[in-house]
Structure 1
Amino acid sequence: GLRGLAQQRPEVEYAREGYDMFIAMLDGIKEECVGFLFNVQVGRAEGPTVAAQPAPSGLAEFAAAAAQQAGAVATKQRPAPAGLR
């Protein structure tokens, strides 16, 4: 085509055009993201509140609470996690 008449390698020109289009796409995405961020409206959703659990005071209580939360059960194939023995 015309690139051959202009003494340019078509594969280099296609790569350059593709890169330029990619950069233009990234710029468009950046502009759109900034536009969304500047126009965001934050609202407070009223939903069910979660009651706070008291923090365990001792190491044994902490280990028991961690095991209860993780659902850790010791079996023959899976020994008890460290700190629960």
Structure 2
Amino acid sequence: MKNPFHHLARAVFIHENKILLAQAKGDTNTFLPGGHVEFGESAKETLKREIQEEMGIDCAPDHFLGLIEHKWEKKGILHCEIN
């Protein structure tokens, strides 16, 4: 794919005034837990699946907080994402 588009669902976990962040191995960027939305999947379904896969816990997403768009270039390829 020449210009990848990423549609992601992210969760905000708050415990004792701290927010959980994730970091990919070997990467310096941090991000909220979650992942790519599969075709036909809702954001809530994505979060339930991704949190179960990545953290081994069941979650019940509560409500929508907002949307963030981001774009970056990597190795000459433009990437766009909606979180």
Q: TM-score range by the shorter chain?
A: under 0.3
Looking at secondary structure, tell me which structure has more helix per residue.
1
Instruction: Flag the structure with larger Rg.
Output: 1
Query: Greater relative contact order (Cα 8 A, min sep 6): structure 1 or 2?
Result: 2
Q: Taking structure 2 as the reference length, what is the TM-score of the superposition?
A: 0.21
Looking at secondary structure, tell me which structure has more strand per residue.
2
